[in-house]
């Protein structure tokens, strides 16, 4: 007869304690396969506990397969149990490489936001409104492309601010542009050749490759991606940022745009992804019209994100499919659930619809313009400023800085790091060798607190000798 | 000399009106490539507007590439402009197939939540707290695996409620399990053979296939997936739900679990994905221990979601990697941004950490148990109830109903639909033919308002004749 102590069982229920005792006996081989367990009533009497307790323990053992019940015969240790190892202690997690950010005095590689720039109060107020007014909708599964309220708000916004007339059905909401790129690979297929700009965000290339697609890189000239390069790569799907290229800042002129549209039209299956990631932040004049707005043949997918315009930590991006692509797209990948929470979709819909997004953009554009000008003036008035040339095109949240020096990029990086300044060379955005890119650095300034920067920090940024 | 009317320009700024007029003349060929534009001063005097207005218009035209400026010579229409089409009107969006849900009297296929079941008040209060106390963190980019606070809260929860001792570094947060499956295909590679259970959620198969992986389906017996089937498929990565299989409800006994662990151990590169999607809702006894907790060799990835336990419309799921897999995983796919918003990650971390998640689960388990019992009792007391057999295993948010009839599944579906009842046959979850599945239907009840259901609705559900 099984005998177990019921002292010091702590907070564990009696039945669970009994279950554990019997389970451990089975695992240790003290109870053998096929052995009959005592009847519930006998065991209960023997241990001085209730029959219900034994019944619950046997029930759990049966549910987990340690024993089986035979009608009118009782409970038996499962025959098929091999001698099983008692639970091993968990393996130790190897030390992860610490990716902790170094504490730079100035970090020109960061493109996060400053907390005071985000309209927290409005955002949470709208969320509360959404919760109190639309709780049913919040718990209804979003369509694959996103909730209609948000797609409608984005369509209205695009009409007013980007001159783009599209219907909400053409819009697909996703948790970040990387997710949308993945979705496009699933839609177009892995037999297609994707092509990105060289230089460019290496992350875009990595995402396409990691999704199993071939991803080529086409060289650029001063007008943007070169048509002969696009042809050379055998491109099917061309991914470009015509409004403001990162990192060069190039705005693609209208002639090149029409050349690319003609290229897309020449062969069925070709498509251009227009990545409009920071078009909201053109500092002078009106925004550059989208490529999609001059595409009459339905070859352009427009893509944008709220990462730059709101915050990268709310993961909401979207793309606009050409009308002819809507049906095949949802037929092929419409079984995927939308990856953005309804709470944030509805909140953002109100944020845009009630005009807060426009106000926020205008406010941020002014803030960024001021930050940019203050930074440029600090650079221009710094020691040896004549050794620096600023390359900017009045758009976006970064500009380029050329060092007129014979020092290598590695030497410049090291010299700046010793001053507590973090800057990434343009060359790092190229695939392969590009000697033209040498001595040029990319400066993101969106999260800089320029007022607090001391003039002293910039002393010697240009270097004192070759 | 260019002459344009400045009447009726509406709310458009003067410079933009001028820009549009000149642009349209260029596009229509009225201004020819290479032609010199009038000097800013001359044009301004001629049109009776300020030089600044002309300057802004020329600036915009230059930025977009319609003209170029030659130092000290003036502005010229770009030479390379081919005769370009005026903007076509946008293509029409084809009518999308309306996926509007039919208004069923009872829908047993839905697994959404009822609004009153979600703890909105607590959720928004915690979100407000997070916003006021952690605004800096909210705007800092989340690590690829998720913010540490949430991973820690989940690790603590798993220790207390699933007996799973893991470190936060092993946990990866993602926007839904589908997203995590995609990430695993990227990690393991498309040369691996993934294998799911047959029957099962067809969505899982579709996700693996759409990610470019081979996905086989292994038949099950009463203990879960069959080992010979797993071998037959040449499986590398086996995706199973041992705690509560959908849709059969099978709980995999411990003997089969050890057999599968031994299978995984026999060859390098093999791995088991343990999909624990609704283990919180075991209605009797303690939860079934996880497969990962008895895996000493680091072959099991545990996966779970807050879709069932909180709401499917907050897109937060997670997986726990075995310790040995953490480093290779983040080296290979750690460049991806986390797909879940920081706002919701921090809110959920508090929701779990402050004990609300446990309370919510306990509350919901009681609600679901009551709903289940009421529904079962309605079914049992319905007309011709002897023609129905209920197959349930005390776990999860669905059970099976067998119709003792000679009617085909299609006939049963049609008969029920005419009564306003929507039910999906078990056979629909199988790949290939499975005659055993006939006459069995899957009943989800999580969103049913059972109290409001009339007994009358169930009248005749069993059918009156064969």
* H or E element that contains B172: strand B171-174
Interface test with A, best of B12, B23, B60, B96 (most A CBs within 10 A): B96
For position A115, what pLDDT does the model report? 80
H and E: helices and strands count for chain A? 16, 16
Contact B213, B194 (CB under 8 A): yes
Please determine, for residue B210, whether its predicted confidence score (pLDDT) is greater than 60: yes
Residues of A in contact with B28 (CB under 8 A): none
Asked if the Cβ–Cβ distance from B167 to A63 is below 8 Å, we say no
Question: What average pLDDT does range A99-113 have in this prediction?
Answer: 76
Calculate what percentage of chain B has a pLDDT beyond 70: 94
- Residue ranges of alpha helices (H) inside A48-91 are 51-63
For position B93, what pLDDT does the model report? 61
For position A101, what pLDDT does the model report? 58
| Integer CA distances (angstroms), A460 to A235, A382, A386, A455, A464, in order | 45, 7, 12, 10, 6
Residues of B in contact with A284 (CB under 8 A): 59
Nearest to B341 among A135, A179, A341 (CB): A341
Question: Which of the two residues, B451 and B57, has the higher pLDDT score?
Answer: B57
Please determine, for residue A290, whether its predicted confidence score (pLDDT) is greater than 70: yes
Cis before residue A429, ω within 30 degrees of 0?
no
For position B95, what pLDDT does the model report? 60
Residues of A in contact with B294 (CB under 8 A): 85, 87
For position A384, what pLDDT does the model report? 83
Contact B62, B75 (CB under 8 A): yes
Which range has highest mean pLDDT (A230-239, A288-297, B2-11)? A230-239
Nearest CA in chain B to A139: B313
Asked if the Cβ–Cβ distance from A343 to B338 is below 8 Å, we say no
Question: What average pLDDT does range B333-346 have in this prediction?
Answer: 95
- Token pair for residue B439? 């006459």
pLDDT tens column, B263-293: 999 999 999 999 998 888 887 777 888 999 9
* H or E element that contains A306: helix A306-309
How far is B122 from chain A, CA to nearest CA, in Å? Answer: 11
pLDDT tens column, A369-378: 888 888 888 8
Nearest CA in chain A to B331: A97
What angle (nearest 5°) sits at the alpha carbon of residue A376, between those of residues A372 and A379?
Answer: 140
How far is A464 from chain B, CA to nearest CA, in Å? Answer: 33
Please determine, for residue A336, whether its predicted confidence score (pLDDT) is greater than 70: yes
For position B10, what pLDDT does the model report? 80
Distance of CA A341 to the CA centre of its chain: 14
pLDDT tens column, A111-159: 777 888 899 999 999 999 998 888 888 888 889 999 999 999 999 999 9
Please determine, for residue B84, whether its predicted confidence score (pLDDT) is greater than 80: no
Please determine, for residue A466, whether its predicted confidence score (pLDDT) is greater than 60: no
| Coarse DSSP helix, strand, coil percentages of chain A, rounded to the nearest 5 percent | 45, 15, 40
Asked if the Cβ–Cβ distance from A207 to B336 is below 8 Å, we say yes
Contact A328, A188 (CB under 8 A): no
| Integer CA distances (angstroms), B345 to A138, B162, B305, B340, in order | 17, 21, 13, 7
B234 band by pLDDT with thresholds 50, 70 and 90: very high
Nearest to A339 among B138, B311, B315 (CB): B315
Instruction: Report d(CA B196, CA B208) in Å as an integer.
Output: 10
Residues of A in contact with B335 (CB under 8 A): 203, 206
- Token pair for residue A368? 């960024």
Instruction: Report d(CA B334, CA A203) in Å as an integer.
Output: 11
- Sort residue B74 into left (φ over 0), alpha (ψ -120 to 50) or beta: left
Distance of CA B178 to the CA centre of its chain: 6
Nearest to B91 among A92, A99, A322 (CB): A322
For position A6, what pLDDT does the model report? 81
Side-by-side strand order, sheet with A317-320: A171-174, A317-320, A300-305, A271-275, A237-240, A193-198, A214-221, A224-225
Instruction: Report d(CA A359, CA A222) in Å as an integer.
Output: 34
| Largest CA-CA distance found in chain B, in angstroms, rounded | 97
A89 band by pLDDT with thresholds 50, 70 and 90: low
A283 band by pLDDT with thresholds 50, 70 and 90: confident
Q: Which residues contact A9 (CB under 8 A, 6 or more apart)?
A: A17
At A309, phi and psi to the nearest 5?
Answer: -85, -20
Query: Which residue, B290, B297, B331, is CA-closest to B145?
Result: B331
Which range has highest mean pLDDT (A310-319, B327-336, B414-423)? B327-336
Asked if the Cβ–Cβ distance from A323 to B93 is below 8 Å, we say yes
Question: What average pLDDT does range B371-386 have in this prediction?
Answer: 87
Instruction: Report d(CA B161, CA B155) in Å as an integer.
Output: 10
Nearest to A90 among B138, B166, B338 (CB): B166
- Sort residue A231 into left (φ over 0), alpha (ψ -120 to 50) or beta: alpha
Please determine, for residue A232, whether its predicted confidence score (pLDDT) is greater than 90: yes
For position B80, what pLDDT does the model report? 73
How far is B388 from chain A, CA to nearest CA, in Å? Answer: 23
Contact A32, A84 (CB under 8 A): no
Nearest to B324 among A91, A127, A342 (CB): A91
Residues of A in contact with B215 (CB under 8 A): none
For position A96, what pLDDT does the model report? 57
CA torsion B361→B364→B366→B370, rounded to 10°? -160
Asked if the Cβ–Cβ distance from B60 to A85 is below 8 Å, we say no
Residues of A in contact with B112 (CB under 8 A): 139-141
Question: Helix, strand, or coil here: A373?
Answer: helix
- Token pair for residue B351? 């929701």
Please determine, for residue A365, whether its predicted confidence score (pLDDT) is greater than 60: yes
Which domains does chain A carry? Answer: 14-77 (1.10.10.10), 115-359 (3.40.640.10), 362-452 (3.90.1150.10)
CB pairs under 8 A between A and B: 271
For position A13, what pLDDT does the model report? 87
Query: Which residue, B195, B201, B198, is CA-closest to B213?
Result: B195
Nearest CA in chain B to A68: B253
Among the residue ranges A205-214, B60-69, B215-224, the one predicted with the least confidence is: B60-69
Asked if the Cβ–Cβ distance from B127 to A123 is below 8 Å, we say no
Please determine, for residue A223, whether its predicted confidence score (pLDDT) is greater than 90: yes
ipTM of the predicted structure? Answer: 0.89
Asked if the Cβ–Cβ distance from B314 to A343 is below 8 Å, we say yes
Nearest CA in chain B to A53: B285
Residues of A in contact with B298 (CB under 8 A): 91
For position A93, what pLDDT does the model report? 61
Bridge partners of B219?
A: B198
Residues of A in contact with B316 (CB under 8 A): 341
Asked if the Cβ–Cβ distance from A298 to B99 is below 8 Å, we say no
pLDDT tens column, A259-274: 999 999 999 999 999 9
Residues of B in contact with A63 (CB under 8 A): 251, 285, 288, 393-394
Asked if the Cβ–Cβ distance from B175 to A211 is below 8 Å, we say no
| Integer CA distances (angstroms), A206 to A181, A186, B329, B332, B334, in order | 11, 15, 15, 10, 11
pLDDT tens column, A42-72: 999 988 899 999 999 998 898 888 998 998 8
Please determine, for residue B43, whether its predicted confidence score (pLDDT) is greater than 80: yes
- Token pair for residue A196? 């990105």
For position B91, what pLDDT does the model report? 56
Please determine, for residue B97, whether its predicted confidence score (pLDDT) is greater than 70: no
Asked if the Cβ–Cβ distance from A175 to B339 is below 8 Å, we say yes
Mean pLDDT for all residues in chain A? 89
Q: For CA atoms B36, B41, B47, B49, give the dihedral sign.
A: positive
Please determine, for residue B187, whether its predicted confidence score (pLDDT) is greater than 90: yes
Nearest CA in chain A to B310: A139
Mean pLDDT for all residues in chain B? 89
For position A84, what pLDDT does the model report? 58
Nearest CA in chain B to A213: B212
Query: Which residue, B337, B253, B143, is CA-closest to A307?
Result: B337
Query: Which residue, B220, B180, B201, B243, is CA-closest to B111?
Result: B201
Number of Cβ within 10 Å of residue B335's Cβ equals 14
* H or E element that contains B23: helix B14-27
What angle (nearest 5°) sits at the alpha carbon of residue A21, between those of residues A19 and A22?
Answer: 70
B119 band by pLDDT with thresholds 50, 70 and 90: very high
Cis before residue B196, ω within 30 degrees of 0?
no
Interface test with A, best of B18, B57, B68, B93 (most A CBs within 10 A): B93
A161 band by pLDDT with thresholds 50, 70 and 90: confident
Instruction: Report d(CA B82, CA A261) in Å as an integer.
Output: 13
A424 band by pLDDT with thresholds 50, 70 and 90: very high
Nearest CA in chain B to A56: B285
């Amino acid at each position: 007869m099984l005998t177990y102590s019921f002292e010091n069982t702590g907070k564990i229920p009696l039945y669970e304690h009994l279950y554990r005792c019997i389970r451990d006996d089975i695992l240790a081989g003290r109870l053998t396969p096929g052995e009959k367990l005592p009847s519930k009533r006998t065991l209960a009497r023997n241990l001085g506990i209730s029959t219900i307790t034994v019944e619950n323990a046997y029930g759990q053992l049966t549910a987990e397969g340690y024993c089986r019940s035979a009608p009118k015969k009782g409970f038996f240790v499962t025959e098929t149990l091999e001698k099983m190892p008692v639970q091993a202690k968990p393996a130790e997690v190897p030390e992860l490489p610490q990716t902790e950010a170094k504490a730079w005095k100035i970090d020109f590689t960061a493109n996060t936001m400053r907390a005071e720039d985000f309209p927290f109060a409005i955002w949470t107020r709208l969320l509360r409104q959404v919760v109190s007014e639309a709780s049913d909708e919040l718990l209804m599964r979003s369509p694959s492309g996103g909730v209609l309220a948000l797609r409608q708000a984005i369509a209205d916004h695009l009409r007013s601010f980007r001159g783009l007339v599209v219907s909400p059905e053409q819009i697909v909401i996703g948790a970040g542009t990387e997710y949308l790129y993945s979705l496009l690979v699933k839609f177009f297929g892995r037999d297609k050749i994707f092509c990105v700009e060289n230089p460019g965000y290496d992350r875009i290339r990595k995402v396409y490759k990691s999704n199993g697609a071939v991803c080529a890189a086409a060289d650029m000239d001063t007008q943007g991606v070169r048509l002969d390069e696009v042809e050379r790569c055998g491109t099917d799907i061309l991914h470009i940022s015509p409004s403001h290229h990162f990192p060069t800042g190039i705005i693609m002129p209208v002639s090149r745009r029409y050349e690319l549209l003609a290229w897309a039209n020449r062969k069925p299956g070709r498509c251009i992804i227009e990545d409009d990631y920071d078009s909201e932040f053109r500092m002078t004049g009106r925004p550059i019209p989208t490529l999609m707005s001059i595409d009459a043949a339905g070859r352009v997918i427009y893509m944008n994100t709220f990462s730059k315009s709101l915050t990268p930590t709310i993961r909401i991006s979207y793309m606009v499919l050409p009308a002819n692509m809507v049906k095949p797209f949802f037929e092929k990948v419409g079984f995927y659930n939308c990856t953005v929470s309804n709470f944030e979709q509805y909140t953002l819909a109100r944020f845009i619809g009630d005009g807060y997004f426009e106000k926020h953009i205008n406010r941020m554009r002014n803030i960024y313009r001021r930050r940019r000008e203050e930074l440029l003036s600090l650079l221009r008035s710094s020691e040896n400023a004549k050794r620096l040339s600023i390359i900017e095109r009045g758009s976006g949240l970064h500009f380029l800085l050329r060092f007129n020096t014979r020092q290598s990029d590695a030497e410049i990086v090291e010299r700046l790091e010793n001053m507590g300044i973090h800057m990434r060379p343009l060359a790092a955005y190229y695939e392969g060798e590009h000697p033209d890119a040498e001595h040029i650095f990319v400066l993101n300034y969106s999260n800089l607190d320029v007022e607090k920067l001391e003039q002293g920090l910039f002393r010697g940024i240009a270097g004192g000798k070759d």
